[in-house]
Structure 1
């Protein structure tokens, strides 16, 4: 048991060192790194790091055809018949060896449009975009490329290293002599196999993106409006957004005033006429004469007489 535990720890340390070494040299491996390292899985656990640190050709010297590039693009055209143009766009993609990845259409009395997600081989990307643009009046075209060569090479190196770790775990599992060693080694092997499956899934996804490019074809009818781009951030974008909101609020206010104006005229003019007639009637009505109050009657009060002084 002690021997298997030490061997497992040594294999883990050697594989971890190989991970670091492969990550550091992933950018230096050629495009066929995965095919060029089949012997990595057969190398002993302690030599994985040495197998991955061999001299590689720098990626800067790779040709254009050897690089992993993801192409994405979108093209907007205006046509007279949306359904017919959409069918022709799908035919162009399938004729180039691709397929239809998504189809979203809307049609009503005012507008009709279709948005197609087309997957085509990378070497036919530019040709398909040009052919779709010629279906009608081209309104917009947006092409983007993403160079994922280093990411692809890094995945190749990590997959080779992880395969070596899985093989070393299987060899140690075959040498297990006790139940505790068997349980420990099975858990470690399952973890390594799960990590390998995750790396391989990422590699397949990246290979799919580089092998098949994505084209978004927006086909508009005669009355459909061109979709607006998302506004960029910053002061000018905020100023533009504030001005747009102010104009929209002012438009709503004027709409409300326009809706209330007929009511104000229809009800306000008769009410104003009634009030004017009432005021004229009150102005012509004579006021009652004002009479002065009668003077109060004067009452003469008796003057008290002085009593005679008593005799001495």
Structure 2
């Protein structure tokens, strides 16, 4: 019957543990390490955009590629100032990484270089052993399906096979990703322009420049002050106008005669 055989194949790849340990010892003895390397560098250049283009060309020449690239043109205003810069993430063959780091000196002044390494030898050995065991198990389950005598046995074998195939595809994907990380190192490069000191004029020109800057600052402050006070002046002007109108009306009332229907008697001239 196929039932016990299916259960045996679906029990896992416990028998491969010894194989993984043996493979790991073989790698330790041969010294064939699998290492993922990531490097970081900061370079001061004359023109970051041009340097980024040159670095991309150099990367392609050694068989690598640009994974990401961004360029900042820089700003220089009274409120904010930033230098031009460029950021790049490169993938280069692992055996070309040291040469790439050395070639950065041709672009400008290398200010900082750091490098991190992660040994994934054991992980790859484990993946290879599990993949091998799953491939063997998958082949046996396919044979069991071909010889299944009943529908129940066939359904049970198909379920076990689907589970094994999904696990196998996941492991193969992990293996491929790690192998790609080992084969191509990652290099992060920051390219920035030189921060040149600001030159100030002396003597008459220096005084003229200082005076002009002071005038501009004064006008700016004056404009801001007027802008702040203007809404208040409008609000205060309305009651002031009303008070003025009321005062004029009262003054007119005070200037009119008390009883206009009884004028004062005119003196008799004949008397």
Q: Normalised by the size of structure 2, how large is the TM-score?
A: 0.66
**Conserved? CA contact 1:82–1:114, under 8 Å:** yes
The residue aligned with 1:118 is 90
**2:260 — aligned with what?**
none
Match of 1:179 among 151, 156, 159: 151
Shift of residue 6 of structure 1? 1.1
User: Using the alignment, how far apart are the partners of 2:65 and 2:21 within structure 1?
Assistant: 38
For residues 23 and 61 of structure 1, do their structure 2 counterparts lie closer, same or farther at Cα, with a shift above 3 Å needed? closer
Cα deviation for residue 177 of structure 1 reads 2.2
- Per-residue deviation, 1:24: 3.7
Where does residue 8 of structure 1 map in the other structure? 6
Deviations 1:164-192 (A, max 9, x none): 11111111111112222222211110000
Note the C-alpha offset of 1:116: 0.5
Question: Which residue pairs with 1:60 in the alignment?
Answer: 28
Aligned residues: 192
Counterpart-to-counterpart distance in 2, 1:141 and 1:189 = 50
User: Are residues 1:140 and 2:112 paired?
Assistant: yes
How far apart are 1:77 and its partner, in Å?
0.4
Post-superposition Cα deviations, 1:60-91, rounded to whole Å, max 9, x if no partner, equal 2223xx22111110110011111110011111
The one of 49, 55, 64 equivalent to 1:83 is 49
Distance 2:5 2:121 in 1: 36
Q: Residue 170 of structure 1 aligns to a residue in which SS?
A: helix
Query: Using the alignment, how far apart are the partners of 2:160 and 2:195 within structure 1?
Result: 63
Q: Structure 1 residues 19, 12: closer, same or farther in 2, change over 3 A?
A: farther
From 137, 142, 145, the equivalent of 1:165 is 137
**Deviating 4+ runs (over 4 angstroms):** none
Distance 1:117 1:205, change over 3 A: same
**What CA RMSD, in Å, does the superposition of the two structures yield over aligned residues?**
2.0
Q: Which has the larger radius of gyration?
A: 1
The residue aligned with 1:200 is 172
Segments of structure 1 that go 5 or more residues without pairing to the other structure are: 29-56, 225-312
Find the aligned partners of 1:12 and 1:21 in 2 and give their Cα distance.
19
Match of 2:189 among 211, 217, 237: 217
| Residue 22 (structure 1) aligned with residue 19 (structure 2) | yes
Matched residue, 2:59: 93
Question: Do structure 1's residue 128 and structure 2's residue 100 form an aligned pair?
Answer: yes
Task: Please state whether the residue corresponding to 2:115 is helix, strand or coil.
Answer: strand
1:75/1:133 contact within 8 Å kept: no
Asked if 1 retains the 8 angstrom alpha-carbon contact of 2:6 and 2:156, the reply is no
| Stretches of structure 2 lacking an aligned partner (at least 5 in a row) | 76-81, 197-271
Residues 255-283 of structure 1 deviation map (CA, whole Å, 9 limit, x = unaligned): xxxxxxxxxxxxxxxxxxxxxxxxxxxxx
How many Å separate the matches in 2 of 1:208 and 1:150? 16
Q: After TM superposition, give the deviation of residue 223 of structure 1 in Å.
A: 3.2
8 A contact 1:92–1:132 mirrored in 2? no
Question: By how many angstroms is 1:151 displaced?
Answer: 1.2
Going from structure 1 to structure 2, the CA distance change for 1:61 and 1:20 (only over 3 Å counts) comes to closer
